Structure 1
Amino acid sequence: MREGYEGTGPGAITPDGCAVELYSRLPVGEEPDIIAAAVPTGARILELGSGVGRMTHPLLDRGFEVTAVDESSEMLARVRGARTICSPIEGLDLGETFDVVMLASFLVHAGDVEVRRGMLRACARHVAEGGCVLIQREGEDYHSNVPRERVDPSGFTLRILSAEPAGDGVNSVSAEYVFPDATWTHTFLARPLTKEQFEEALAEAGLRVDRYLTEDGVWVRAVPAEE
């Protein structure tokens, strides 16, 4: 297990503490609609950190062509209908570009600054001229509104139990997912980023905000800085 990351519960657990079976159960939500509204019909999408295909499959259903990248072969084994590539995001260099590069799941908040830089450079490296990068950020109170819980209509409860300082501006976040028949926990490192810090990180990678796609600022459409 990667230092600072831990996961418990039934089934396989990836090095960053994510449970494969848990992510296979999580509902999709409104994300595919947000994505579809922000990009051209039938776009070629590079999905970085696809996991089990929670968003991959709805995007395929909407007519997009998706290349799904994840460092966990166990996660990718659950993906159907997309080209899959097993690789860490930060070192990825496919030698091709895409209409859309997607970095969801709050990966831009990686605790390790160099990992974040590598991820954003990978986004910039793979976006085609005239294309865009879609990024999912943490909500403004993600680290301060703890503990909190949300009961999902599909029948499970998500609890963010704590967000404790772990040094160097990083927090150790503990989450719990409670289903009627199973419980999973996930502890991970996350770096809170203000809007200004987030935009500075984009600029460092040669990207800039085109627009914020949601009122809460969680979903962002970015483009190469020179466009």
Structure 2
Amino acid sequence: MDAKAREGHQGTGPGAITPDGCAVEMYARLPAGDEPEIVASTVPAGSRLLELGSGAGRVTRPLVERGFDVVAVDESPEMLAYVQGARTVCSPIETLDLKERFDVVLLGSFLVNTADEALCSALLRSCARHVEPDGCVLVQRENDRWHEEATVPREWERGGQRIRLASVEHQGTDRVAVRMEYAYEGAEWTHSFVSRVLPDAAFEAELGAAGLALDAYVTDDHSWVRAVPAPRG
């Protein structure tokens, strides 16, 4: 492991491992899912977009191909080395202050469900300080029922990779320890992390504390949310 893991996070396998346990070489191989389509159907075409937590660019690339002007932010230089077609910024999200504002700020990869409540607040405040007054913030989150409905173990494939949800362990009322396993062309990786269960009401309260307001739940399962700057005064 290349850096001290954050509490509750661990990753194993070949190549660099980020502080939150993500394997760089694995994510460099993992294709995007439905994220680009959701973003493109939710915000104006050609928007200037700040992607917070871009990783190796699996979502960045298709957004650029769709005509978005993307600035990709990640704390891992190893991840950013794979990003193509976008300006990159190496920084933790929570301390980022570009002195710029964007039409769209994207906080994907379920980062808002971090078990660190202070970090969750800091991530959303970073979104708020980088969005235009008439812009929007898109947040990908674990919906209220995900942990209850998850079948363990469960396997599926994406882009030739085998992905396995190996374990889901509830820790108290609002923390869940998850272990993921990945395999691709003979290489194997694991990613263990702790999520905070954040029901709709609690999530909306977090938005409000950060100076944001719910605009819409974009997907029926509430896993994608559009927020806007909260009115002042």
Structure-1-length-normalised TM-score = 0.94
Q: Is the 8 A contact 1:105 1:136 kept in 2?
A: yes
Matched, 1:110 2:114: yes
Q: CA deviation at 1:203?
A: 1.0
Q: Is the 8 A contact 1:146 1:161 kept in 2?
A: no
C-alpha distance in structure 2 between counterparts of 1:111 and 1:167, whole Å: 12
Matched residue SS, 1:143: helix
Out of 199, 204, 208, which is 1:199 matched to? 204
Matched, 1:152 2:157: yes
Q: What does residue 209 of structure 1 align with?
A: 214
Structure-2-length-normalised TM-score = 0.92
Deviates more, 1:101-110 or 1:166-175: 166-175
C-alpha distance in structure 1 between counterparts of 2:159 and 2:92, whole Å: 31
Out of 110, 125, 135, which is 2:139 matched to? 135
Matched residue SS, 2:118: helix
Out of 2, 5, 12, which is 1:8 matched to? 12
Q: What does residue 190 of structure 1 align with?
A: 195
The one-letter code sitting in structure 1 at the alignment partner of 2:168 is A
Matched, 1:226 2:231: yes
Q: CA-atom RMSD, angstroms? A: 1.6
Q: What does residue 72 of structure 1 align with?
A: 76
C-alpha distance in structure 2 between counterparts of 1:168 and 1:17, whole Å: 24
C-alpha distance in structure 2 between counterparts of 1:167 and 1:50, whole Å: 31
Structure 1 stretches of 4+ with a deviation exceeding 6 A read none
C-alpha distance in structure 1 between counterparts of 2:160 and 2:181, whole Å: 14
Q: Percent identity?
A: 56
Length, aligned pairs only: 227
Q: What does residue 176 of structure 1 align with?
A: 181
List alignment gaps of at least 5 residues for structure 2: none
Matched, 1:17 2:21: yes
List alignment gaps of at least 5 residues for structure 1: none
